[in-house]
Amino acid sequence: MSYYDQVKEAADAIRARVSDVPRIAIVLGSGLGDFAGSLADRVSMPYGELPYWPASRVIGHDGRLVVGGVRGRTIAALAGRSHAYEGHDLRTVTFAVRVLGLLGVKTLILTNAAGGVNTAFAAGALMVIDDHINLMGGNPLVGANDDRFGPRFPDLTDLYSPRLRRIADEAGGEHGMTLPHGVYAAVLGPSYETPAEIRYLRTIGADAVGMSTVPEAIVARHMGMDVLGISCITNTAAGVLPHAVDHGEVLETARRVRGEFLALLEGIIGRL
């Protein structure tokens, strides 16, 4: 069966289980998964119940797609994503976004945990992604292009929608937050970076570094979706401060700013 047909079968399976098809979707990064459990009138679909859906097994990520209401809008929330560092190829990593696209999602909000490369960022900051640098060593569009998804050579100018970035600022302002903006560099992982790599990333214009989001953003753009990306700066990147980078700290910071992050997301969704 073709990849397109697998994506379509998964989208059809979701459509059959919901009364209202979402036009907005959000991928929840580390520590944010339980946002999905706060949706009104929700339908929860564990990934294992959806055809061809890849499993993710990282601590801090559960695995389900939840469709439900936020501020009067029906959204799809993905708690748990696949990462390339788990050994998945980038088509598998972006399967979920393909499904959302065929389902009819027009606006995709991608959230993640990231290391702060910009030395002005403190742990706990929420950064609006203005642009990205793909250093993963791969691109999810490699291989024969299926024109049913999108064009062979998609343009990535303004991949992160200027309109949605403005909306994020407005929603932040409502809660007294001034959100920093910056460039997200995506690396493969799973090891954290060396201090020399972080100096290199700073030199080439990155403000934050993480191991997700970029393949999903590319695929979403390929399908014509509007994309917003928000990084929770969970730690200063390697070498910025004289201590090690640790997954426990990443999760702890994500938990600490969770309330603020969720308020921001709700404010954004309310403005869409």
Residues that bind ligand HPA (CB under 6 A): 113-115, 192-193, 209-211, 234-235, 237, 245, 250
Query: Given the complex with ligand HPA, which of 104 and 190 has the nearer CB atom?
Result: 190
Query: Given the complex with ligand HPA, which of 40 and 241 has the nearer CB atom?
Result: 241
* Per-residue CA distances from 239 to 13, 115, 197, 243, 244 (Å): 46, 11, 9, 7, 8
DSSP state of 244: -
Closest approach, Cβ 256 to ligand HPA, in A, equals 14
> 79 is written with which tokens?
């708690």
Closest approach, Cβ 261 to ligand HPA, in A, equals 14
3-state helix, strand, coil in the chain (%, to 5): 35, 25, 40
Contact 201, 186 (CB under 8 A): no
Closest approach, Cβ 153 to ligand HPA, in A, equals 29
Closest approach, Cβ 27 to ligand HPA, in A, equals 15
Query: Given the complex with ligand HPA, which of 41 and 246 has the nearer CB atom?
Result: 246
Q: What angle do CA 80, 68, 130 make, to 5 degrees?
A: 55
Contact 193, 237 (CB under 8 A): yes
Query: Given the complex with ligand HPA, which of 217 and 269 has the nearer CB atom?
Result: 217
Closest approach, Cβ 186 to ligand HPA, in A, equals 9
What torsion, rounded to 10 degrees, do the Cα atoms 92, 223, 161, 171 define?
Answer: -70
Contact 245, 223 (CB under 8 A): no
* Closest-approach residue to ligand HPA (CB): 115
Helices (H), 109-257: 162-174, 195-203, 214-222, 247-256
DSSP state of 42: E
Query: Given the complex with ligand HPA, which of 237 and 272 has the nearer CB atom?
Result: 237
Q: Give which of 67, 65, 63 is closest to 83, Cα–Cα.
A: 63
Query: Given the complex with ligand HPA, which of 161 and 253 has the nearer CB atom?
Result: 253
Closest approach, Cβ 161 to ligand HPA, in A, equals 23
Query: Given the complex with ligand HPA, which of 7 and 117 has the nearer CB atom?
Result: 117
Closest approach, Cβ 127 to ligand HPA, in A, equals 12
